[in-house]
Each structure stands twice: as structure tokens, then as C-alpha cells.
């Protein structure tokens, strides 16, 4: 074998991108950013509901990226599908397998709030590792500590630059206040406020015991009178928190209220709540699909595809993800 042929064998690399069935539009957008095709995993469901995957090409020695948001209504099915795809890739001798989870399922079950409860975010991490994943990429995990549930590298990206850029293009910063809908989100809201040079406030919120989907907003900490307020959260679930906070802000003198979140879970009755609320605009990213029946006029969706594509490119080329983003897009 000549030295040239030996060098080709050492340096030859293949990036293969695959999508689960939860959100193929996002994977297609990522593929367009990367300039690569989306491979065919040939996912099918048997009559009894079991899932099957068989890759349509050889993936031996390839760098395989499996993109799957853990989307509803069957979040567990989305996770199981990704696990099966990872197992198939491992058994097909992929060189490295990266699970790209734009939205990481069960992230809100990251601790035991009461006795006899699971820590399901850790269970999902264990299952991804057991399936054979070598690396995980996710966006705005509900808590950054979830990275510690993994024994493999985790690239924790943030949509902050996308949200900040949108606000800079859409708002006058002088009359803007960034608001966290609860005390737990103050750190993230402060980062956005600092990037914009805007004021910061937060809403004191309580959840009645035994009613995790119900939020009671009690008072506002900060000056919002005469200001446009932008409520910032990582997830909009049933929208109870956001809507209750918006009502309180308007009662406190705010002139207008927007809502921004990375992940639009929008579980029932979120759409009805948002539609009937005083919130004038809801800005989300496309980490999760937005079904046509939920695409109300108030909702605007920003693309997360360039962010994910840059992370995939950095991982494939064995470059530092944090350096690629200047430390801004990785937590």
C-alpha cells in the first residue's frame, strides 16, 4: 500500500445524518445548512405497534448523527424510536454515534420533588448510553445539571443568540423589560437582558400542592410600569405560568406583553389559553414541530437549524463546539 493510499484511509471521514419521525422538517433544514442528504433509516411500525429500523446504506466507520426531538403526543415513542436507531447504528459498526435531541424528553423530571418519585431525566440518559450513543447534542435543557446524568460528552446549546437577535430586530430596547415568569428562570432571563442592555424583572409564582400544571402568579419584582415586557422561559407547556404572569404584568402597568421560549410543547389547553390571553406575540424556536391546528396568528417560529448544523459540523470535524460559538451558544 502506498503512503498516499494509507493517508486516504486514515483521513477518510463520512458524515451521515438521519431523522426520526417526530420532526423530520427540522432535520431537513439542518441537512440543507450542512449541504448533506438525509439518510433513510426505513423506520416502520409492525401491526402490534413495535418499531423497526434498517439503514438503507452501509454506515460502517461513519460518523452518524441521529436527530430526534422527543415530541408529543407520544414522547416515549419518540425516545424509543431514537434508541432503536442508535442500537441499529451501533450494530452496523458506525464509528461514532451522536444523538441530537433538540428537545430532551422528561427533562422536567430531573429530581425527586416528593417521595416515591422517579428521576426520569436520568433514566432517559441511561437508556441513550445503554443503546450505544457516544455523544449527545441538545438545546436549552430544562436544567443544565442534566448534563451530569450522562457518562458521555454532552454539547448543551442555547437558543439565546437567536432570541436576542430577534428582539434586537423587533423592539426598541429603551422601553423593554425582560421578565422571568418565576424565580427559577431569573438566570436565563438575566443573560438575555444583559446581552440587550434591557431591564430585568421576575414574577413570584407558586404551584398549589398536587397541581403541577397550575401556576399562581402573586407579585412582580422589578419595574414594569409603562414598559413592553417579554416573558422568557425554556418551555411553554400548558401556558398556565406564562398567561398568569402576563395578566399580573398588565395589572402592574405593562403596556404590552410578549412571550418567548425555546421549546413550544403547547400541551392542552395551551393554545386556547394563549389565544384568549392578553399576550400579543409568542415567539418559539422549531425544536418541536408546530402542527397546523396549533399555528395561531400570535405564534412566530424561529429556526434553530443553523445552530444545530454548526454544532454537528464542529463535532464531525473534531473542533471545539464552545470555541466555534465563542462560548455563547454552549452552556
Q: What are φ and ψ of residue 45, in 5° steps?
A: -115, 130
**Is residue 330 a part of any domain in this protein?**
no
143 and 12 both lie in a single domain: yes
Separation between Cα atoms, residue 199 and residue 231, nearest integer Å: 12
204 and 319 both lie in a single domain: no
Residue 128 confidence (pLDDT): 98
112 and 207 both lie in a single domain: no
125 and 220 both lie in a single domain: no
Residue 7 confidence (pLDDT): 43
- How far, in Å, are 109, 117, 144 from residue 114 at the CA level? 11, 6, 21
Domain span holding position 278: 160-303
Sheet containing 216-221, strands listed edge to edge, beginning at the edge strand earlier in sequence? 216-221, 199-206, 176-180, 228-236, 256-264, 281-285, 299-302
**Is residue 171 a part of any domain in this protein?**
yes
Residue 283 confidence (pLDDT): 98
Residue 326 confidence (pLDDT): 57
124 and 192 both lie in a single domain: no
Residue 8 confidence (pLDDT): 46
**Is residue 331 a part of any domain in this protein?**
no
**Is residue 110 a part of any domain in this protein?**
yes
Report the run of H or E that residue 138 belongs to, with start and end.
Answer: strand 135-139
Beta carbons of 299 and 284 less than 8 angstroms apart: yes
Residue 113 confidence (pLDDT): 87
36-73 burial, b for 16+ CB within 10 Å, e for fewer? bebbebebeeeeeeebebebeeebeebbbbbbbbbbbe
Q: Which regions in the chain score pLDDT beneath 50?
A: 1, 5-10
114 and 189 both lie in a single domain: no
**Is residue 329 a part of any domain in this protein?**
no
10 and 148 both lie in a single domain: yes
140 and 7 both lie in a single domain: yes
169 and 94 both lie in a single domain: no
312 and 296 both lie in a single domain: no
Separation between Cα atoms, residue 231 and residue 237, nearest integer Å: 14
Q: What SS3 state is found at 178?
A: strand
**What's the CATH number where 69 sits?**
3.40.50.2020
190 and 152 both lie in a single domain: no
Nearest CA to 166 out of 201, 198, 196 is that of: 196
The torsion defined by the Cα of 58, 60, 65 and 67, in degrees rounded to 10, comes to 50
Residue 206 confidence (pLDDT): 66
**Is residue 92 a part of any domain in this protein?**
yes
36 and 172 both lie in a single domain: no
Query: What is the domain count for the chain?
Result: 2
Separation between Cα atoms, residue 171 and residue 89, nearest integer Å: 46
**Is residue 32 a part of any domain in this protein?**
yes
Residue 213 confidence (pLDDT): 54
- Write out the catalytic residue numbers: 205
**Is residue 65 a part of any domain in this protein?**
yes
| 154-157 vs 44-45, strand pairing mode | unpaired
Amino acid at each position: 500500500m502506498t503512503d498516499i493510499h494509507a493517508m486516504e484511509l486514515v483521513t477518510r471521514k463520512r458524515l451521515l445524518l438521519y431523522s426520526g419521525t417526530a420532526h423530520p422538517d427540522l432535520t431537513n433544514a439542518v441537512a440543507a445548512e450542512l449541504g448533506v442528504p438525509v439518510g433513510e433509516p426505513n423506520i416502520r411500525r409492525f401491526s402490534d405497534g413495535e418499531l423497526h429500523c434498517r439503514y438503507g446504506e452501509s454506515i460502517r466507520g461513519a460518523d452518524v448523527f441521529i436527530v430526534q426531538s422527543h415530541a408529543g403526543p407520544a414522547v416515549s415513542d419518540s425516545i424509543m424510536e431514537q434508541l432503536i436507531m442508535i442500537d441499529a447504528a451501533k450494530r452496523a459498526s458506525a464509528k461514532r454515534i451522536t444523538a441530537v435531541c433538540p428537545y430532551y424528553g422528561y427533562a422536567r423530571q430531573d429530581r425527586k420533588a416528593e417521595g416515591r418519585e422517579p428521576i426520569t431525566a436520568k433514566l432517559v440518559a441511561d437508556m441513550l448510553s445503554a443503546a450505544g450513543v457516544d455523544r449527545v447534542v441538545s438545546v436549552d435543557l430544562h436544567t443544565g445539571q442534566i448534563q451530569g446524568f450522562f457518562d458521555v460528552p454532552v454539547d448543551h446549546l442555547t437558543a439565546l443568540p437567536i432570541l436576542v437577535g430577534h428582539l434586537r430586530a423587533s423592539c426598541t430596547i429603551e422601553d423593554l423589560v425582560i421578565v422571568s415568569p418565576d424565580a427559577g428562570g431569573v438566570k436565563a432571563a438575566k443573560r438575555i437582558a444583559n446581552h440587550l442592555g434591557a431591564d430585568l424583572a421576575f414574577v413570584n409564582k407558586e404551584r398549589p400542592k398536587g397541581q403541577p400544571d397550575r401556576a399562581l402568579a402573586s407579585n412582580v419584582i422589578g419595574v414594569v410600569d409603562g414598559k413592553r415586557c417579554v416573558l422568557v422561559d425554556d418551555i411553554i407547556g400548558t401556558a398556565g405560568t406564562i398567561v398568569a404572569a402576563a395578566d399580573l404584568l398588565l395589572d402592574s402597568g405593562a403596556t404590552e406583553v410578549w412571550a418567548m421560549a425555546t421549546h413550544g410543547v403547547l400541551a392542552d389547553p395551551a393554545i386556547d389559553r394563549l389565544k384568549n390571553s392578553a399576550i400579543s406575540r409568542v415567539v418559539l424556536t422549531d425544536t418541536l414541530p408546530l402542527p397546523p391546528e396549533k399555528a395561531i396568528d400570535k405564534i412566530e417560529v424561529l429556526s434553530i437549524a443553523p445552530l444545530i448544523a454548526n454544532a454537528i459540523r464542529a463535532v464531525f470535524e473534531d473542533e471545539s463546539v464552545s470555541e466555534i460559538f465563542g462560548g455563547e451558544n454552549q452552556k
